Chains A and B, each alone.
Chain A
Amino acid sequence: MSSNSGYVKEAPLVKGNHTFSSITALVADIVEKPTPFWWYIAFGISNLLMGLLFLMLGYLIWEGTGVWGLNNTVAWGWAIINFVWWVGIGHAGTLISAVLFLFRQGWRTAINRFAEAMTIFAVMCAGIFPAVHVGRIWVIYWVFPLPNQMQMWPNFQSPLLWDVFAVSTYFTVSLLFWYVGLIPDLATLRDRVKSKLAAKLYGAFALGWTGGNRQWQNYEKAYMLLAGLATPLVLSVHTIVSFDFAVSIIPGWHTTIFPPYFVAGAIFSGFAMVMTLMIIARKIYGLQDIMTIDHIEKMNIIILVTGWMVGFAYIMEFFIAWYSGVEYEKFAFVNRATGPYAWAYWIMMSCNVIAPNFFWFRKMRRSITVSFILSIVVNIGMWFERFVITVTSLAQDFLPGSWAYYSPTWVDVLTYVGTFGLFFTNFLLFLRFLPMIAIAEVKMVMPQADPHYYDEDGNEPVKETEELNEPNTNS
């Protein structure tokens, strides 16, 4: 085949010789069929963990911030680490749906819904921490510029304030984007479900969608505009989160490379989290035809690339610390690798810089097991990256006399564990009641959506039905 055109045909994005209706059935049936037993178990466990989260937060608010392991020197600990980690994870969704949409990456359609949902739930988990980590949560609203008789405005110089705006904007736009994308599929469900109540609910949220040309035209314009709006946010959120550190003067925080490095790290961890969830979901729900091994490979390539961007940043930080000639900077970085928290540093390095190198090999990239394991490894590594940045820089800063070691308490640990409860509770509800794959969008990238079969030169192609209909053997 290669001899007659020199053109390597792209693998089809949807495998298994599906028709439009079989795709609809494949996705919508998940919602329509009775709830599987395993779901109740998973939901129960998630609920318990979520309860634990609320218990821990209640205890924290009742007793005071002292129930965490913080001290005078290290005044930010797991709460901020978890915040940055969850926000980072929340990056993949919008990146996949907005940036890849603008770049016309058709393969995004298999995972965008899924990833966007993950984004929203991850940002919800993240948002808890900045709110509860303050000493007096009952006046947290003072961070908003609310008119008051004292004419007391927040301090617009503070990166924490920028955070408030950045994260809340990101959450709002992500939610909106996700919802707009859901509308055609909600309409599909409205038309398919048997329960009257469900039909009413889906119908209400489908906003009267009928699938008319006019609607599609407006819809696609709106979707495009939202994608344009969301794209800068992908970059801005983690840039601003990184400002929390970069704007300060603490060695190890005070670094201009932070914004790109944080964004790369966020994409890195976000893709890894999508990977973890996707590998489970495609197996359970039999979606291997839509979330194909080719998708996994593409994502692994992104993980490899962003992993190296992060690795480059780690190395660059060292170089700049040395090049700056500032003894405090030099100490901060050498100390990370050799000091009391070296264990955390080396976990971070092995997970984030060494582990993704397996993906240089095609076989590894296309191995479900390796992908699954590495996706988890990467997220462990990214958690430790935030730990290294936050804790090691603070614990040993300028004056050795005030250095202090930080270790978390059980409340810190259980709060973090609890956020998984919140995340999975939401995620399981999403899997159960909403189409986890953008049905309408997937159909657009199916071969059937392009019935002319022109080749790239516009010639009527040789009909290659056998190849098109080739059964999927890779799953």
Chain B
Amino acid sequence: MSKTEQKTYWRSLEDLSRNDAYKEYISREFPEDAGELKDGYSRKNFLQIMGASVALAGLAACRKPVQKLLPYHEQPEEIVAGIPLQYASTIPVKDSGIGVLITANEGRPTKIEGNPDHPGSRGATGIFHQASILDLYDVDRSRSPRQNGEQRSWGDFVSFAQQHFGDSSRRVAFVSEASGSPTFNRMKAEALSRFPNAAWATWEAHGPQNVLSGTELAFGTKLRPHYRFDRADVVLSLDYDFMSLAPDTVRSNMDYADHRRVSQTSDSMSRLYAVETTLSVTGSNADHRLRIKASEMPAFIAALGAALSGSVSGLDAFSGISNDFSQHSWISVLAQELADNSGNSIVAAGEDHAPEVHAMVAAINAALGNAGSSVEYLETGFHDDSYNPNALAGIAEGIRNGDFDTLVIIGGNPVFNAPADLDFAGLIDSVETSIHLSSHIDETSRLTTWHVNRAHYLEYWGDATSYEGVASVVQPLIRPLFDGKSEAEFLYALINGESGEGYDIVRETWSDVITSEFNSRWNEVVHNGIHDGEGFPVRSVSIASGMAAAVSDYLANLLPSSSDDIELVVRADTKLFDGRYANNGWLQELPDPITKITWDNVAAMSPATAERLGVRARKFGETDYDLITIETGDASVTMPAWILPGHADNSITVSTGYGRTNIGKVADDIGHDTFVFRTTSNMQVHPAVSVSMAGRTYPIACTQNHNQMEDRPLVREATLEEYRANPTFAPDMVYVPGRQNGGNPPNLFNDQLFPSHQPQWGMAIDLNACTGCGVCTIACQSENNIPVIGKREVVRNREMHWIRIDRYYMGDQNDPQVVHQPIPCMHCEQAPCEMVCPVAATTHSDDGLNQMTYNQCIGTRYCSNNCPFKVRRFNFFNYAKNWLEIDEDPDIIQMAMNPDVSVRFRGVMEKCTYCVQRINRAKIATKNETGNSIKPADGTVKTACQQACPSQAITFGDISDDESIITQTKRNDRNYVMLEELNIRPRTSYLAKLRNPNSQLA
């Protein structure tokens, strides 16, 4: 690990693309013209071409890229050049899918939006969904199958499969990702029946296995808990980060926000309690938050169960339990609240907690009568024994015993993310034949005998089920860029020894689902992006007899973590998850919702722990942070320490997914690999680790340097009670002369509002709904062609995001309250930026937009200086060029660009436009339809940020229209304008945040 403090980040994307070592690697792996190899070439021919192409590789840099322009010989139906089309599809993520609409410009997908008809999306998306379009255009994706590191064709693989798997007595070990795809699960069943000696393990580093085992312990069957936040008045999250990392976050956020939406004083809100170790997105939004060590969580839940066992029946397993938490003030309050709200409360624990923890939580939910109402236990039908938490260990054991001759790994990356003590790399070596289907040549693919390149979900036919079980189809939008294959096609080849078309395989599955009028109904499903069938059946549950014993066993055998020990918690990363998104520049550069760190993972700890360890708090402007060495018995990692207010004391949280090597230009050498800490016995937490200062420092690119609001009325918040007592608390916080008469203060300049001109655009952001997740930032980046600039530039505070989210800590730094505030351009009517531009490059439009004319900008940056919100972004270098020409294949990443938005050159200023391209498209359409009006119908123009937001915090529309939603929203009592006293009259306003605290815990 000693090399980690070296220059582990590249200075700029440009630099990176000139990295000689990487170039050499590329030329070795993908020689020019080698892709043209056809079947039937002899080995001699192959070597000739290899030789020639290696020689040519050196010249590649001199060659001008050949761009082919192919005009349509016949105009394809539906396509009008310049008019994007939307197609419905589904993004499969782990064992559920989310329905999306994909915008395609002339055949290339450019933007992902939620499918309003899909229950998992309802029009919104999460950061992973928004960013996944960039994965399609990832130039580092594997471009062909490989055998022992040498390039092969798909045909080669199929003939290998035919020969190898022709023998059905093969002892095959399958390791796959979790998947809710009906087709995949059909192929899985077929494979298992074709190879009777086979075994199957489902492996997700941060997956549903523990939850499923928990419900199995509690109820006797593997059931998927579906939390209905729309029905819950009290939510207790035990490390359950449903706003960021948990499955089904989009739906959860939406339901949760809907249940807390306040438009008048009589509205009610649900109440969220969060008990957690690190400060998560969910915890930062909680009404009450308690920080405890992760190793104390089981005891906390047991104490809660014990307290509840007095008032609700069915918790006999807990009666008599007494521990350190029994007398904790939270326990009695929570027990009271939950009992009072039985049937409409939720208790949920984070996925990585042990099965027994989930069993306790399930039992509590069942006893409270939540099961069937606010918590639905779904029987998915595909969560078989392969989903056991120890299934992978079972496979490993089998391989070690020589039970298997073939290892088939379908997706995933176990060499990187399997428990370290399984030594997966060693296992691969010890089986005769190993095959890995993956999108990149990753840690696992490099070791397996065969690698098959996997297609992106925008490239193949497939299907998926939503979290609650509604099936939908994965529709390809583009032919596979690199001839990748889907899991179904891959499995089909293994089973049948021949190549199958994904389309046919999926349709075969669906022929069981759609029993009549197949073709028309199928087209309907593909078109709508959702099948109108039922979801998974909701099971009524009763607590299984064995649960009490299992739980008490577990509690008795818990490794004690004395309060002085420093525990280590390994957690999924909010941006890279388990590393699967590591090569995605948008996600790497998205500031973490809490720490605001980009391009790195850190060891987060509380201020008290930092002091104990000697980690120094950084002053304003310092970018180098202390490195610490964390040692468990088996692993040691030196990584930067980060002081995180609100973290539990004597606990360190690290996130996974970083520290990749040789994966791709973006991911390589970014952050530190923390999967090395995970072992089968310590998957989530090491109760005691030793930590020492490494004595060196490391630069961190954090986009927010100051975390306190300095008592300024920027984010305004009150409790629900205070709001009811004084509904206009938010605008009242600042005295503005002239406002009391409903007017504006006097003004030296001509008003830039054109009341006679309709529409007049405005935006409102409901801080009560915003969770700070960051999807608006990614959606904006995707819509507006915002370049990725790399760590060095972010360290210099030059991030380019047009909408950022400011996060402030308030109160005690050990236990702070947290607020999030998205900040786009405010489109001030009296815009300070406009007055100071010497060349009039930023001006006001008739419909109230503060416009930036890139062509006219000479780059004095005076506008940015004079912007009180600092939302303007300057192209200090030629970021767009560096980003779009990151590789020898610039055409690929350029395909992700939105043709309606200019790509900005160096030296010009840019900023949020309220998605002017969308506004103008709607205006043109309206004009075409009506002949004279240019005022689109209310709600037809949605900005990218608004559209993506799962909690629907952003409202946008015509403020000159009395009936529009935005006007209604802005009439809310809580509506206020930041820095109103400057009389710049921003068009973007905020609705003040409300919290709903419990007076007993105040």
Q: Please list the residues of chain A having a beta carbon within 8 angstroms of any beta carbon in chain B.
A: 63-66, 69-73, 75-76, 133-136, 139-140, 142-143, 152-155, 157-161, 164, 244, 247-250, 326-328, 331, 339-340, 394, 396-405, 407
A152 contacts B619, C-beta separation under 8 Å: no
Select A135's contact among B704, B799, B875, beta carbons within 8 Å. Answer: B875
Q: How does the 8 Å CB contact mask read for B853-875 relative to A, with 1 for contact and 0 for none?
A: 00011111110111011101111
B876 contacts A66, C-beta separation under 8 Å: yes
B832 contacts the other chain (CB 8 A): yes
B815 contacts the other chain (CB 8 A): no
Chain A residues lying within 8 Å of B718, measured Cβ to Cβ, are none
> With A and B bound together, what is the CA distance between A275 and B223 in angstroms?
87
Chain B residues lying within 8 Å of A160, measured Cβ to Cβ, are 836-838, 860, 862
Chain B residues lying within 8 Å of A133, measured Cβ to Cβ, are 860-861
* Residues in B826-846 with C-beta less than 8 Å from chain A: 832, 835-840
> With A and B bound together, what is the CA distance between A269 and B840 in angstroms?
34
> With A and B bound together, what is the CA distance between A299 and B909 in angstroms?
45
Chain B CB within 10 Å, residue with most, of A63, A76, A155, A399? A399
Select B706's contact among A71, A75, A403, beta carbons within 8 Å. Answer: A403
Beyond A66-B793, A76-B865, A398-B979, is A405–B621 a contact (Cβ under 8 Å)?
yes
A136 contacts B857, C-beta separation under 8 Å: yes
By secondary structure, the A interface counts as: loop
> With A and B bound together, what is the CA distance between A402 and B712 in angstroms?
14
Beyond A70-B876, A135-B874, A331-B710, is A403–B705 a contact (Cβ under 8 Å)?
yes
B797 contacts A64, C-beta separation under 8 Å: no
For this complex, 19 residue pairs linking A to B, each with C-beta atoms less than 8 Å apart, are A65-B907, A71-B797, A72-B874, A76-B862, A134-B858, A135-B906, A135-B907, A136-B857, A154-B838, A154-B840, A160-B862, A248-B836, A331-B710, A400-B707, A401-B704, A401-B823, A402-B870, A404-B705, A405-B622
Beyond A136-B907, A405-B620, is A65–B876 a contact (Cβ under 8 Å)?
yes
CB distance from A197 to the nearest CB of B (A): 44
B706 contacts A401, C-beta separation under 8 Å: yes
> With A and B bound together, what is the CA distance between A136 and B877 in angstroms?
11
> With A and B bound together, what is the CA distance between A70 and B864 in angstroms?
12
A327 contacts B796, C-beta separation under 8 Å: no
Beyond A153-B840, A154-B839, is A64–B878 a contact (Cβ under 8 Å)?
yes
Beyond A397-B870, A402-B870, is A143–B864 a contact (Cβ under 8 Å)?
no
Chain A residues lying within 8 Å of B905, measured Cβ to Cβ, are 136
B446 contacts the other chain (CB 8 A): no
Chain A residues lying within 8 Å of B837, measured Cβ to Cβ, are 155, 158, 160
Chain A residues lying within 8 Å of B707, measured Cβ to Cβ, are 400
* Residues in B795-817 with C-beta less than 8 Å from chain A: 796-799, 804, 806-808
A407 contacts B839, C-beta separation under 8 Å: no
Beyond A71-B798, A160-B860, is A64–B906 a contact (Cβ under 8 Å)?
yes
Select A249's contact among B704, B877, B909, B984, beta carbons within 8 Å. Answer: B984
A249 contacts B832, C-beta separation under 8 Å: yes
- Known A134-B859, A400-B708, A404-B797; 13 more pairs at CB < 8 Å: A72-B873, A76-B861, A134-B907, A135-B857, A142-B856, A143-B858, A154-B838, A249-B982, A397-B868, A399-B870, A401-B706, A402-B823, A404-B621
> With A and B bound together, what is the CA distance between A336 and B870 in angstroms?
20
Q: Please list the residues of chain B having a beta carbon within 8 angstroms of any beta carbon in chain A.
A: 619-622, 704-712, 714, 793, 796-799, 804, 806-808, 821, 823, 832, 835-840, 856-862, 864-866, 868-870, 872-878, 905-909, 978-979, 981-982, 984
**Smallest CB-CB separation from A244: which chain B residue?**
B862
> With A and B bound together, what is the CA distance between A154 and B978 in angstroms?
30
A71 contacts B858, C-beta separation under 8 Å: no
Chain A residues lying within 8 Å of B838, measured Cβ to Cβ, are 143, 154-155, 158, 160-161, 164
**Smallest CB-CB separation from A326: which chain B residue?**
B981
B868 contacts A249, C-beta separation under 8 Å: yes
Chain A residues lying within 8 Å of B807, measured Cβ to Cβ, are 401
Beyond A75-B864, A404-B705, is A65–B840 a contact (Cβ under 8 Å)?
no
Chain B residues lying within 8 Å of A75, measured Cβ to Cβ, are 861-862, 864-865, 874
A136 contacts B908, C-beta separation under 8 Å: yes
**Smallest CB-CB separation from B805: which chain A residue?**
A401
B808 contacts A400, C-beta separation under 8 Å: yes
Q: Which 6 A-B pairs have the closest CB atoms?
A: A135-B859, A405-B621, A135-B907, A401-B806, A66-B876, A75-B861
CB distance from B308 to the nearest CB of A (A): 41
**Smallest CB-CB separation from A407: which chain B residue?**
B621
Chain B residues lying within 8 Å of A73, measured Cβ to Cβ, are 797, 870
Chain B CB within 10 Å, residue with most, of A159, A248, A250, A400? A400
**Smallest CB-CB separation from B979: which chain A residue?**
A398
> With A and B bound together, what is the CA distance between A63 and B984 in angstroms?
36
Beyond A71-B798, A142-B839, A164-B838, is A394–B865 a contact (Cβ under 8 Å)?
yes
CB distance from A342 to the nearest CB of B (A): 12
> With A and B bound together, what is the CA distance between A158 and B838 in angstroms?
5
> With A and B bound together, what is the CA distance between A140 and B979 in angstroms?
33
Beyond A65-B859, A66-B798, A72-B873, is A399–B714 a contact (Cβ under 8 Å)?
yes
Chain A residues lying within 8 Å of B835, measured Cβ to Cβ, are 155, 157-158, 247
Select A158's contact among B709, B862, B864, beta carbons within 8 Å. Answer: B862
> With A and B bound together, what is the CA distance between A155 and B905 in angstroms?
22
Chain A residues lying within 8 Å of B907, measured Cβ to Cβ, are 64-65, 134-136
> With A and B bound together, what is the CA distance between A158 and B866 in angstroms?
11
> With A and B bound together, what is the CA distance between A140 and B838 in angstroms?
10
A134 contacts B860, C-beta separation under 8 Å: yes
B709 contacts A400, C-beta separation under 8 Å: yes
A398 contacts B840, C-beta separation under 8 Å: no
Chain A CB within 10 Å, residue with most, of B710, B877, B878? B710
Chain A residues lying within 8 Å of B797, measured Cβ to Cβ, are 71-73, 404-405
> With A and B bound together, what is the CA distance between A366 and B838 in angstroms?
47
CB distance from A333 to the nearest CB of B (A): 14
Chain B CB within 10 Å, residue with most, of A153, A159, A328, A398? A398
**Smallest CB-CB separation from A143: which chain B residue?**
B838
B869 contacts A398, C-beta separation under 8 Å: yes
Chain A residues lying within 8 Å of B832, measured Cβ to Cβ, are 248-249
> With A and B bound together, what is the CA distance between A248 and B865 in angstroms?
8
Chain B residues lying within 8 Å of A327, measured Cβ to Cβ, are 711-712
CB distance from B625 to the nearest CB of A (A): 15
Chain B residues lying within 8 Å of A331, measured Cβ to Cβ, are 710
> With A and B bound together, what is the CA distance between A398 and B808 in angstroms?
14
> With A and B bound together, what is the CA distance between A159 and B620 in angstroms?
31
**Smallest CB-CB separation from A63: which chain B residue?**
B877
B868 contacts A136, C-beta separation under 8 Å: no
> With A and B bound together, what is the CA distance between A69 and B793 in angstroms?
10
Beyond A65-B907, A249-B982, is A136–B796 a contact (Cβ under 8 Å)?
no
CB distance from A249 to the nearest CB of B (A): 5
Select B868's contact among A66, A142, A399, beta carbons within 8 Å. Answer: A399
**Smallest CB-CB separation from B860: which chain A residue?**
A134
Chain A residues lying within 8 Å of B622, measured Cβ to Cβ, are 405
B808 contacts A401, C-beta separation under 8 Å: yes
Chain A CB within 10 Å, residue with most, of B839, B868, B869? B839
> With A and B bound together, what is the CA distance between A378 and B804 in angstroms?
42
CB distance from B810 to the nearest CB of A (A): 12
> With A and B bound together, what is the CA distance between A71 and B792 in angstroms?
12
Chain B residues lying within 8 Å of A143, measured Cβ to Cβ, are 838-839, 858
> With A and B bound together, what is the CA distance between A401 and B872 in angstroms?
14
Chain B residues lying within 8 Å of A69, measured Cβ to Cβ, are 796
A248 contacts B878, C-beta separation under 8 Å: no
CB distance from B789 to the nearest CB of A (A): 9
CB distance from A245 to the nearest CB of B (A): 9
Chain A residues lying within 8 Å of B874, measured Cβ to Cβ, are 65, 70, 72, 75, 135
